[in-house]
């Protein structure tokens, strides 16, 4: 069941982004940044974490989850450290992913060339 919800929610977010891309004619970069910021805002409003409980990966995997995770990290660090938490928290959850992106990309870039 959880899998079905992840599929439906994740798919719906992507379909909505596609609609905006095709009608508002904005670039993909604008949409991704918009979604990221939206994730951060919804997290601040206390909406994104319950949404993530409900939809699981359907809410975590889209880039909104990235923005939300940054905010979660910041708030949790603020509770622990005070104002420094606003800065140390940015990569608390997302850090693993970012470092992973750098390491894996570097490794694979070493071994492959662009195709076509």
Partner 1 sequence: MQPEEYQQLVQENLPPRPIVKNMLWAFFVGGLICTIGQVVLTIAQNFERTKDEAAAVTLAAMILLGTILTALGVYDEIAEKAGAGVAVPITGFANTVTSAAMDFRREGFLLGMGSKMFVIAGPVIVYGILSGFVVALIKSLVLGLF
Partner 2 sequence: MGNRLGTRTLTFSRGPRITSRYTLVGPREGKGPYALDFHEILADDSLGQKTAEKTERLMLELAIAKTLEQHDTSIDELHFLIAGDLLNQITTSCLAASTHAVPFIGIYGACSTFAEALGLGAVLLQGDFAEQVLIGTASHYQTAERQFRYPIELNVQHIRTNQVTVTGAAAAILSFADRGPRITHATFGTVVDMGLKDPHDMGSAMAPAAFRTIKEHLADTGRTLADYDIVLTGDLGRQGSKMLRLLLEREGFEGLERLQDGGSQIFGDWQPVGAGGSGAACVAVMTLGYILNALESAKAKRVLIVATGALLSALTVLQGESIPCIAHAIALEQ
Q: Nearer Cβ to partner 2, position 30 or 79?
A: 30
37 touches partner 1 (CB under 8 A): yes
Smallest separation (angstroms) from partner 2 to the CB of 54: 28
Q: How many CA atoms lie within 13 Å of 54's alpha carbon, on the beta-carbon side?
A: 8
| Residue 50, contacted partner among partner 2, partner 1, none, CB below 5-8 A by kind | none
Virtual torsion, Cα 22, 24, 27, 32, nearest 10 deg: -90
Smallest separation (angstroms) from partner 2 to the CB of 30: 13
Q: Which of 26, 47, 54, 79 binds partner 1 (CB under 8 A)?
A: 79
94 contacts 70 by C-beta, under 8 angstroms: yes
Q: Among residue numbers 1 through 40, which ones bind partner 2 (CB under 8 A)?
A: 21, 28
114 touches partner 2 (CB under 8 A): yes
- Burial grade of 56 (CB within 10 A; 0-12, 13-18, 19 or more): middle
- Burial grade of 15 (CB within 10 A; 0-12, 13-18, 19 or more): exposed
Q: Summarize as ranges the residues that interact with partner 2 (CB under 8 A).
A: 21, 28, 114-116
């Amino acid at each position: 069941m959880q899998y079905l919800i992840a599929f439906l929610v994740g798919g719906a977010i992507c379909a909505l982004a596609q609609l905006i891309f095709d009608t508002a004619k904005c670039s993909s970069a604008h949409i991704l940044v918009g979604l990221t910021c939206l994730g951060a805002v919804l997290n601040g409003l206390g909406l994104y974490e319950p949404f993530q409980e409900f939809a699981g990966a359907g809410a975590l995997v889209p880039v909104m989850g990235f923005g939300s995770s940054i905010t979660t990290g910041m708030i949790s660090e603020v509770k622990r450290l005070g104002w420094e938490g606003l800065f140390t928290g940015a990569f608390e959850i997302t850090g693993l992913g970012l470092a992973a992106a750098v390491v894996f990309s570097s490794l694979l870039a070493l071994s492959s060339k662009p195709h076509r």
